[in-house]
A and B are shown apart, each in its own frame.
Chain A
Amino acid sequence: MTALTSSTPARTERQYHVSWADAGPFLALVALLVIGFLVNPDFLSATNLGNVVTRSAYVAIIAVGATFVISSGGLDLSVGSMVAFIAGITIMFMNMMAPSLGLWAIPAGMAMAVAAGLLCGLANGLIVTVGRIEPFIATLGTMGIFRALITYMTNGGTIPIDRSLREAYRPVYFGTLAGIPVPILISAVVASIGAFVLYKTKYGRKCAAVGANEDVARYSGISVIKTRTIAFVIQGVCVAVAAICYVPRLGAATPTTGVLWELQVITAVVIGGTALRGGKGHIWGTVAGAVILELIANLMVLSDFVSEYLVAAVQGVIIIIAMLVQRFSK
């Protein structure tokens, strides 16, 4: 295009300004640490914090995927059941392969987990996009399906991992690398990859555009179906990674594995600053959100203010407050 009117080129420097909304989750995190210290000085001990962050790793990993789904305008309620289902499949596969493959059954099982996550995510995605079913309903359905399948597979009991594999697999949850627990490292890697994809790649742009305004995306030549389906697939893979970290913790899958994780995951995303109606996603906010949830649960255990049996109630209150804040801060 030739210059139709000539004028001095505008300045192209970019200012990076941090808004309160972006900084919110991190400020809340700091505030929680201070409160925790005041309640019980042991709270800030390296051991306790290490444990808390390690426990938050699964939710953080799954929530990174959920950030993509929610950012693209979807919602996935099936993540909790999907973790249990994939954990079950993975353990059964590893146990089956152990006699022939020996310890190689572990990486084979991990690959199996990722493949299963990919397919579960793809199924969710296609039901939502090609089937044009509301994400809420579609994933409510698959949530029931995955939960029933794990209950069926375990026959109502547990599927324990084969004794021969247990020791070798343990470090994936209990091990440390350079003093940092492995689950924390894995979630940091997952979050970094997620942030890279969401902020630096074309796919991330498309994802935010589809979530912000589906029509604008469509009129801009972006395939809404492809973009949303991929978001669900990313979610499935994240769930698989979380399942891989989860299996060595208890060494078994049970029908109650991952119960109510969808609440924690969606709460983490929302308090992390991603709007539930779609649009720009906040990966690091999501991670902070996951840690905040686990810190609160930990505080409830360490203090005697509120019974720890009320953890889910507190998380429910938090997501509602976070939604109210989003509504009224507009």
Chain B
Amino acid sequence: MSLAMRFETDTGTLPARPERQAEPVLRAEGLSRKYGPVTVLSDVTLDILPGEIHAIIGENGAGKSTFMRLLSGYIEPTQGMLSMAGNRVRFTKPDQAQAAGIALVHQEILLAEALTVTDNLFLGRELTRGGLVDDKGMRHVAAAKLAEIGCAVSPTSLVRDISLADRQLVQIARALLDEHRLVIFDEPTAVLTGEEVERLLAIIFGLKSRGIAVLYISHRLDEVQRLADKVTVLRDGKMVGTYPGHSLSQFDMARLMVGRELAALYPQKRAVRTNQPMLSVRNARVPGYVQDVSFTVHKGEILGFAGMIGAGRTELFEGILGLRPANAAIELNGSPVHIRSQREAMDAGIGYLTEDRKGKGLLLQEELAPNLTLSALARFHPGLMVRRRSEAQALAQAVSSYDIRVKSLNVKAGQLSGGNQQKLLLAKVLLTEPSVVVIDEPTRGIDIANKAQIYAFIQELVAQGKACVVISSEMQELVGICDRIVVMREGRISGEVSGEAMTESNIALLATSERGHDVDPGGKL
């Protein structure tokens, strides 16, 4: 069995040699990928050396995931080639990349919850003994592997019973079970909290010290700065360049990622904020997610909600808006309202743009007009029947007002690009004429030009006298557009920043540490 961990690479001698002389574990030359006429990645050339941590950074949609999928055999390049240790390789299937020693740690947790940790580690490659599954042997190897990466769960626990962070570690153990020369981490810290991130970084440094090459894909610049020997920046599917890790500040990285458009991305802030409370929420509780959250958003204000994934931001608003069980005292324009369903929230004048555009926002198989009016059927079609005529007019109006780029008005929503889908979703929610608009991840997975437009639309909304709540995992975005930012951590509000104090580092401290203001900022980075 090849599961015993043997590393035949020149692990022992490697650190002593100068880096330049080492043969790259993996070399990508002119790697490109097109989908039809659309180029999502073009001409990426880089070397990954043994014992090197190579970070790939870029904004959403920059091509990081495509690059990772090319390396691990999920898709094939349309141009360019890969070579490992000097030999050209072609992967048409993920198993081939795996067999060549490329291990991939997925961003999403892909484990079977009803099975044990051991079962998951060996799923599809069970050890056998005399033709039967060798449970004892597998438990043994699993225990050793888990101990190696410092994961304390029992190999016999069911995955559904262990924490999210432990699941991530199990997933890493699974990737490391096979012999590997290059380990790819795709946004591994997205679900982890501060302490768990530290544990993960220790694992990665452990790999490095054994001469394993690591490709680290992330948009968390602080982690990248601590880890990376080299940083390759992607922007809009193109390679900006590869830089020595320690030569770049976080600001440099952000500048390289966003490019020249950084300044133009966010609209000039306008002072339209008033002191008139529009939506005020007291003691909101969402069982299992949010404890005792209170906040107020004013007419003309853009209020940001920051925090790590899992901090309970989305759940808070889904609770307030009747999409999941919750308790909260809600006042809208000074009068108390009782909201038990999304319908009642809409009728009260609160609109919500979900973060899950494709799964919860739009009917991808439907045409644009039915999507546009779906939330506003009653308002839009008084009486029994659907009025196609006025629906078509509304669509034409929305397409021009929100600059939704479509070839024809009869296409299906699923055929639009992410940015255009988001604009359609915005139009759909605004058709219910809300006075408060809650936008969850306004620019997830959309390109920079569309981002800038969405920001402008949000500003237009508050200029019209609406109040706006923006939930985002991109701190830069919140700092760029909000008047004030509430930071959540583990289901509670951990602080609030506005004005000069509204910086990414302040938000990060509040989002990650127990008592943000007590932590020395220098020690954290």
Contacts and interface: CB of A to CB of B under 8 A. Distances in A.
A327 interface: no
Given A4-B456, A5-B400, A209-B363, A14 B410 contact: yes
B156 interface: no
B512 interface: no
A4 B360 CA distance: 26
Interface string A190-209: 00000000001110111011
A280 B366 CA distance: 9
Contacts of A42: none
Contact of A216 (B363, B377, B381, B460): B363
A88 to B, nearest CB: 35
A164 interface: no
Interface size class of B (residues with CB under 8 A): 35 or more
B234 interface: no
B403 A5 contact: yes
A200 B370 CA distance: 12
A221 interface: yes
Contact of A221 (B341, B370, B399): B341
Contacts of B402: 4
B385 A200 contact: yes
Given A10-B396, A12-B392, A12-B409, A223 B352 contact: no
B91 interface: no
A202 B386 CA distance: 6
A140 to B, nearest CB: 24
B361 A15 contact: no
Interface string B219-230: 000000000000
B460 A213 contact: no
Contacts of B342: 218-221
Contact of B400 (A6, A15, A200): A6
A163 interface: no
Nearest to B428: A220
Contacts of A6: 400
A297 to B, nearest CB: 34
A80 interface: no
A219 B323 contact: yes
Contacts of B361: 216, 219
Interface in A167-210: 200-202, 204-206, 208-209
Contacts of B363: 209, 212-213, 216
Contacts of B323: 218-219
Contact of B396 (A4, A9, A202, A217): A9
B286 to A, nearest CB: 16
Contacts of B352: 219
Contact of A11 (B346, B374, B381, B409): B409
Contacts of B430: 1
B360 A223 contact: no
B333 interface: no
Interface in B347-396: 352, 354, 356, 359-366, 370, 374-375, 377-378, 381, 384-386, 388, 392-393, 395-396
Interface string B406-420: 100110000000000
Contacts of A1: 397, 401, 430
B430 to A, nearest CB: 6
A147 B155 CA distance: 50
A324 interface: no
Contacts of A222: 343, 374, 377
17 contacts: A1-B430, A4-B460, A6-B400, A10-B406, A12-B393, A12-B395, A12-B396, A14-B392, A200-B385, A202-B381, A205-B386, A208-B370, A218-B323, A219-B360, A220-B374, A221-B345, A221-B375
Interface of A: 1-12, 14-15, 200-202, 204-206, 208-209, 212-213, 215-223, 279-280
Interface of B: 323, 341-343, 345-346, 352, 354, 356, 359-366, 370, 374-375, 377-378, 381, 384-386, 388, 392-393, 395-397, 399-403, 406, 409-410, 428, 430, 432, 456-457, 460, 464
Pick the 7 closest A-B CB pairs, nearest first: A221-B343, A215-B360, A220-B375, A12-B392, A220-B374, A221-B342, A219-B360
